[in-house]
Structure 1
Amino acid sequence: MTALTQLSQAIKDAPRWHQEDQFQNPSEIKIIPLKNEALGAEVWGLDARKAQSGETIYKLKQALAENLILIFKNQILDDAQYLAFASYFGPIFRPTADNPVLGYQAETGTPPDVVLVSNGVDQGDYTGHSELSPHADHQWTPQPSFSSLLYAIQLPHDGGQTTWYNTIKAYDALDDETKRQIDKLQLITYNPFVRAQTNKGWNSNKTEMPLYRFKDQPIIGHAYAHPLVRTHPETGLKALWLNTRTEVELVNYDDQNGSQLIAQLREHILKPEFQYEHNWQVGDIVFWDNQVTLHSRKAFPSEQKRLLKRISLAGGRPY
């Protein structure tokens, strides 16, 4: 079944508004901001299997723009129900075949609508069990995803927590001189999957991925320039559009100065006051704004199974 057919079938089979036993009352749903001051809110009482009203979806979209991540508790969904729920918030992210991303299929060059995030060899072992550094998804594509949803199916007993980073707060905390220095800069983020294909040593952890591309080094993959300081399309707030480990390059900028500036900004992003660490529970769906956050993962034992399912939603060109 093609990805388009999979989504079309999910929407066709989704609950209909006229069925009173499936249409959820908005008053049952509570949105509670997390006690930390960085980002995040929990959503209680929502059953993602049911049809949702315009009032509910509008309220959730507002809450996402304000809190940057929403945590839906106690969900039990099959893939079709999961896709139908995600489609309330936008179309599925589908990159071109020449821009590989997590879960891309060798025969098509693109991922399925629902990507398995697992260390199980029979379930798409794309990310293994080791630590994943803070990153935004799909930064190396011409139109990175707007958001993703991650649904916890099976979890390890030790480790595997995911941390989200508020890059709006990270930008706001910079001094005025640094803001003036970076506000108009353009940044290229190079595709780590192309690097992995080209440099098998990096993929097997035998060599480090470069953190900055100097002008005497070859360009690997496509090079799409996006603003280093990105504007959120709904709130107008500014955010640092920079991960902490993937190879990057500032456009028309001195190599040494650029490398030093990026290193300083990366260190700044990692400050504890910008972070929320999520301790997963089975049935959690975390829905995050990929435009103004980063996320990372703690390592966990290889013999312990971790299975989550991710759906990414399409975004526009950063500005």
Structure 2
Amino acid sequence: MTNLSQLSQAIQNAPQWHFSEQFQNDNEIKIVPLKDQALGAEVYGLDARKAQSGATIFKLKQALAEHLILIFKQQSLDDLQFLAFSSYFGAIFRPSADNPVLGSALDTGTPPDVVPVSNAVGQGDYTGNGELSPHADHQWTPTPSFGSLLYAVELPKLGGKTSWYNTIKAYDALDEQTKQHIEHLQLITYNPFVRAQSNNGQQNYAINTPYYRYKDQPILGHAYPHPLVRTHPESGRKALWLNTRSEVELVNYDDQKGSDLVAQLREHILKPEFKYEHHWQVGDIVFWDNQATLHSREPFPADQRRLLKRVSLAGGRPF
């Protein structure tokens, strides 16, 4: 389990830019947008084990804000190297103990810095092998993560592909009347892990989870209103801040009309023109902007191993 002292160790052990033999030349790095895709770009020439210059990190941050996902191929990292590379882009996401997320420890309530997204490692297998519906990470917390990096270590022979959805394009494609109607609406996303704890110990938080909370239903966990239409803090573009499956509620809105509106927007987000499907290869790192995308996973056979490592980065309050 990676903890704060290991993050300090990761930074201490990381190559320093003033050692020229370990320094990445930013002129070697090329960013190529994915052709005919709703989002995404591939990054060529970068070795995530090396020290990165300010110019490189600035270039990558600009590219992430524009393309929403960045794909780094053929990387070979241990956990500390992965953590050190991720920390160039922001502080590590650490939720409060009363807001459980993927990987939260039973004793402390907080997750490891490097979370195994896996069915393969025994203790710490958090996601199994089933389908994961399109969602934004940590949407039920007061300050959701701004982004995550996911690193492929072991892959199944069949299935397990991850898809990302561009919720900026989804918002832009709405008609003007709908845009005006939803502009100032506030949405509460209820914590699916609290819901799972109430499902008689079921680990699959999709079991018995309503898609909309009516006002006569009990509230499970904390409720943090966030804008339904979120503004990207760097680009200023607007995005739909809505996942496709977990329990939500529009603030000060009629129950049935709210449920119908959310269902219509969810159906809209899932249109194929907003989607990119990633076919994983060992050594891939995918870095995505959690503020303007959803991501999902297709199922894979239970007898096949899949191990990816995830680092999530701290964000601010949505606006």
TM-score calculated relative to the size of structure 1: 0.98
Q: Show the counterpart of 2:166.
A: 166
Query: How far 1:36 moved relative to its partner?
Result: 2.4
Q: Show the counterpart of 1:153.
A: 153
Task: Provide the rounded CA distance (Å) in 2 between the counterparts of 1:170 and 1:257.
Answer: 21
Q: Show the counterpart of 2:18.
A: 18
CA contact (8 A) 1:201 1:207 kept: no
Task: Provide the rounded CA distance (Å) in 1 between the counterparts of 2:204 and 2:168.
Answer: 34
Task: Provide the rounded CA distance (Å) in 2 between the counterparts of 1:206 and 1:42.
Answer: 33
Query: How far 1:202 moved relative to its partner?
Result: 5.5
Taking a change above 3 Å as real, the CA distance of residues 314 and 226 of structure 1, as seen in their structure-2 partners, is same
**Alignment deviations for residues 50-102 of structure 1 (CA, whole Å, 9 cap, x no partner):** 00111111000000000000000100001111111001000000000000000
SS of aligned partner of 1:80: helix
Q: Show the counterpart of 1:258.
A: 258
Amino acid at match of 1:52: Q
Task: Provide the rounded CA distance (Å) in 1 between the counterparts of 2:221 and 2:233.
Answer: 28
Task: Provide the rounded CA distance (Å) in 2 between the counterparts of 1:222 and 1:205.
Answer: 16
Q: Show the counterpart of 1:228.
A: 228
CA contact (8 A) 1:202 1:208 kept: no
Task: Provide the rounded CA distance (Å) in 2 between the counterparts of 1:152 and 1:205.
Answer: 24
Amino acid at match of 2:157: H
Query: How far 1:37 moved relative to its partner?
Result: 3.3
Task: Provide the rounded CA distance (Å) in 2 between the counterparts of 1:112 and 1:232.
Answer: 27
**Alignment pair present for 1:104 and 2:107:** no
Identity percentage of aligned residues: 76
Q: Show the counterpart of 1:57.
A: 57
Task: Provide the rounded CA distance (Å) in 1 between the counterparts of 2:310 and 2:238.
Answer: 26
Taking a change above 3 Å as real, the CA distance of residues 2 and 133 of structure 1, as seen in their structure-2 partners, is closer
Q: Kindly report which structure 2 residues correspond to 1:38-57, keeping only aligned pairs within 5 A, or say none.
A: 38-57=38-57
Task: Provide the rounded CA distance (Å) in 2 between the counterparts of 1:256 and 1:45.
Answer: 52
Taking a change above 3 Å as real, the CA distance of residues 99 and 266 of structure 1, as seen in their structure-2 partners, is same
User: 5+ residue gaps in structure 2?
Assistant: none
CA RMSD, aligned part only? 1.3
SS of aligned partner of 2:14: coil
User: 5+ residue gaps in structure 1?
Assistant: none
Count of matched residue pairs: 319
CA contact (8 A) 1:36 1:276 kept: no
Task: Provide the rounded CA distance (Å) in 1 between the counterparts of 2:232 and 2:42.
Answer: 22
TM-score calculated relative to the size of structure 2: 0.98
**Alignment deviations for residues 222-247 of structure 1 (CA, whole Å, 9 cap, x no partner):** 00000000000000000000000010
Q: Kindly report which structure 2 residues correspond to 1:121-160, keeping only aligned pairs within 5 A, or say none.
A: 122-160=122-160
Runs of at least 4 residues of structure 1 off by over 6 A?
Answer: none
Query: How far 1:204 moved relative to its partner?
Result: 5.3
Query: How far 1:199 moved relative to its partner?
Result: 1.6
**Alignment deviations for residues 243-292 of structure 1 (CA, whole Å, 9 cap, x no partner):** 00010000000000000000000000000000000000000000000000
Query: How far 1:208 moved relative to its partner?
Result: 2.8
